[in-house]
Amino acid sequence: MASPNAGPRIALFRAVNVSGANKVAMADLKAMFEDLGLGPARTLQAAGSVVFHGPGADAALEVLLESEAASRLGLKSPVFVRDPAQWDAIIAHNPYPDAARDAPNRLMVTPLKGRPTPEGVAALQASAQHGEQIAAWEACAYFHYAGGVADSKLTPKLIERCLGHSGTARNWNTTLKLAAMMAEG
């Protein structure tokens, strides 16, 4: 996925400020983007979601941001860069519109580093419990945690093993807020 323009994009860091791991102040993360010429940058919440501007291919920006976050902030995290068109397509392909409407905090959008295989998705579906649903489209997975995320056996480690790619999850509310932030420019 390449986005050579300098328009708005999102960078999603995995597992930032979650359970005491990968602690980083959003002001420091924002400053890093601006120091790299990827400003103006805005963060959403404290979970490593950044809207920024800058030219270059998504994959090259991911490598740059991963390297710079590690060296400047001690943050070792995969980064997932998407542009507005890519993010809008992820939203449009949501296979669980009822969950998006009725329980948006239980619907997770998970950008991945690559496309999962149908066999990998099926293996993950076999581990689902409590009405959980899993689907994939392109380099993104969707998880509807009908019984809530806290009691799920679908751990990040299991998800990555089955799907064959690392990913980072954002709930539906956050997914829509990020789209709105990119639309603002």
Q: For 35-84, how does the pLDDT look when each residue is reduced to its tens digit (9 = 90+)?
A: 999 999 999 988 889 999 988 899 999 999 999 999 999 989 999 999 99
pLDDT of 4 reads 52
> Is residue 101 in a domain?
yes
| Same domain, yes or no: 122 and 167 | yes
pTM of the model: 0.92
d(CA 59, CA 182): 19
| Same domain, yes or no: 164 and 94 | yes
| Same domain, yes or no: 62 and 97 | no
* CA angle centred on 77, ends 18 and 117, rounded to 5°: 100
| Same domain, yes or no: 47 and 102 | no
| Same domain, yes or no: 180 and 108 | yes
Domain that holds residue 153: 88-184
| Same domain, yes or no: 137 and 64 | no
Tokens of 49: 């979601």
Residue with tokens 């940058």: 41
> Is residue 39 in a domain?
yes
| Cα torsion through 89, 32, 173, 120, rounded to 10 | 60
- Using pLDDT thresholds of 50, 70 and 90, give the confidence band for residue 3: very low
* CA angle centred on 77, ends 152 and 113, rounded to 5°: 75
pLDDT by residue (tens digit) across 70-109? 999 998 999 999 999 999 999 999 999 999 999 999 999 9
Instruction: Annotate 111-165 with DSSP letters as a single string.
Output: EBSSPPPHHHHHHHHHT--TT-EEEEETTEEEEE-TT-STT-S--HHHHHHHHSS
pLDDT at 2 over 50: no
Q: Which of 82, 97, 125 is the last residue of a domain?
A: 82
> Is residue 34 in a domain?
yes
- Using pLDDT thresholds of 50, 70 and 90, give the confidence band for residue 185: confident
pLDDT by residue (tens digit) across 147-169? 998 889 999 899 999 999 999 99
